[in-house]
């Protein structure tokens, strides 16, 4: 059923007031087809609202993806394929997997949003990305209503990137995703130092289980990142820049302790939060917005902020980092 002038404040974690001219909740392919038949355009898709910055009211049609379901569709001795509805909550899916001894996504615990949004962003954390466990997805073309299956190659995954942020941007609603998860001999990933340290803090001295890893990641994220229920935010606002190693070498001439992580092809990843913090933004408040006091990568709504305020803060941060380090930050958040 189409709703008019739908208030979107409850549906975005940054806590911004905005309205959708036309809005519909969809829980099946037939729902999607019925909603798009009216010819209302443009069409946008809303998942958990945790990676969106509303800067204006939404014209056209906004579809809220609530296609649910979790099912093991194939089994092997050491792994399974799990099909999950695009409207499922991501963290709840991770919890379900861990409780059922299915490994591979425990490092992605407590990431906000929906399963359908996860391949669009190629979400990642603590050494794991969606592409590491992805098999295929089924999407609905928002122009024709036809379904199409995308395999890993067709998704063209990159760092926080996929075809759905480029050539296919805005064209599809992701109905379901199939993941390959292990049932035994799990590959425990503690490559990020914070996990090893946290396991020690939690008193876990024996080889960790996938449940231990999930618990550690939840602990880390709960400390570092603000709860959207208490202070509006949409998580990490900027991507960590991936640059030629020579750029980090230049930065370390002035900042010997500058962090960086080696990548293939003589490139490095530099934490955007560190760059922002060196420019004095961490904990700084600007009007109703600001940078979170514990993590400069996170922009927050102190109450009553507008999307244009937050966008201007992001632009000012980008300009200051560019001026000091010659590095251009790129937003990870979708700006609508």
User: Hey, where are the domains in the chain?
Assistant: 3-65, 70-182, 232-335
Structure tokens at 146: 């036809």
Helix spans in the chain (H): 29-36, 90-99, 118-121, 152-155, 193-201, 210-224, 245-254, 272-278, 307-325
Per annotation, catalytic residue among 50, 118, 162, 236: 236
User: Cα–chain-centroid distance for residue 141?
Assistant: 22
Beta strands in the chain (DSSP E): 3-7, 19-26, 43-46, 52-53, 58-65, 70-75, 79-85, 124-125, 128-129, 134-141, 147-151, 172-182, 232-236, 242-244, 261-263, 267-269, 285-286, 289-291, 298-301, 334-335
Mark whether 160 is an active-site residue: yes
- pLDDT computed for residue 192 by the predictor: 81
CATH number of the domain at 70-182, please?
3.30.465.10
CATH number of the domain at 3-65, please?
3.30.43.10
3-state secondary structure of 164: helix
pLDDT tens digits, 185-232: 999 999 887 899 999 999 998 899 999 999 999 999 999 899 998 999
Closest CA to 132 of 102, 152, 111: 152
Mean pLDDT of 6-24: 97
Mark whether 236 is an active-site residue: yes
Identical fold for domains 3-65 and 232-335, yes or no, is no
Mark whether 83 is an active-site residue: no
Predicted structure pTM score: 0.92
Per annotation, catalytic residue among 83, 160, 215, 221: 160
Percent of the chain scored above 70 by pLDDT?
Answer: 100
Q: Which CATH number fits the domain 232-335, given the four candidates 3.40.50.10800, 3.30.70.260, 1.10.10.10, 3.90.78.10?
A: 3.90.78.10
């Amino acid at each position: 059923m189409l709703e008019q002038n739908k208030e979107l404040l409850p549906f975005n974690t940054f806590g911004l007031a905005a309205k959708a001219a036309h809005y519909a909740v969809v829980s099946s392919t037939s729902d999607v087809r019925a909603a798009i038949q009216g010819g209302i355009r443009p069409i946008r898709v809303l998942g958990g609202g945790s990676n969106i910055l509303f800067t204006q009211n939404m014209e056209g049609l906004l579809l809220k993806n609530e296609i649910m379901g979790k099912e093991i569709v194939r089994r092997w001795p050491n792994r399974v394929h799990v099909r999950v509805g695009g409207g499922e909550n991501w963290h709840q899916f991770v919890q379900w997997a861990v409780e059922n001894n299915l490994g591979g996504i425990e490092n992605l615990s407590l990431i906000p949003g929906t399963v359908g949004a996860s391949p669009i962003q190629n979400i990642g954390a603590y050494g794991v990305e969606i592409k590491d466990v992805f098999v295929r997805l089924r999407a609905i073309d928002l122009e024709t209503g036809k379904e199409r299956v995308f395999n890993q190659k067709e998704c063209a995954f990159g760092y926080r990137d996929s075809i759905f942020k480029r050539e296919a941007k805005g064209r599809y609603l992701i109905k379901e995703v199939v993941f390959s998860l292990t049932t035994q001999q799990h590959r425990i990933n503690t490559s990020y130092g914070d996990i090893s340290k946290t396991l020690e803090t939690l008193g876990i001295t024996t080889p960790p289980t996938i449940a231990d890893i999930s618990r550690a990641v939840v602990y880390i994220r709960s400390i570092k990142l603000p709860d959207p229920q208490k202070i509006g935010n949409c998580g990490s606002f900027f991507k960590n820049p991936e640059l030629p190693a020579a750029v980090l070498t230049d930065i370390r001439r002035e900042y010997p302790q500058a962090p960086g992580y080696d990548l293939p092809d003589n490139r490095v990843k530099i934490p955007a939060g560190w760059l922002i913090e060196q420019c004095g933004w961490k904990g700084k408040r600007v009007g109703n917005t600001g940078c979170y006091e514990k993590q400069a990568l996170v922009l927050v709504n102190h109450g009553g902020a507008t999307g244009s305020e937050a966008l201007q803060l992001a632009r000012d941060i980008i300009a200051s980092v560019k001026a000091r380090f010659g590095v251009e930050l790129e937003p990870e958040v979708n700006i609508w």
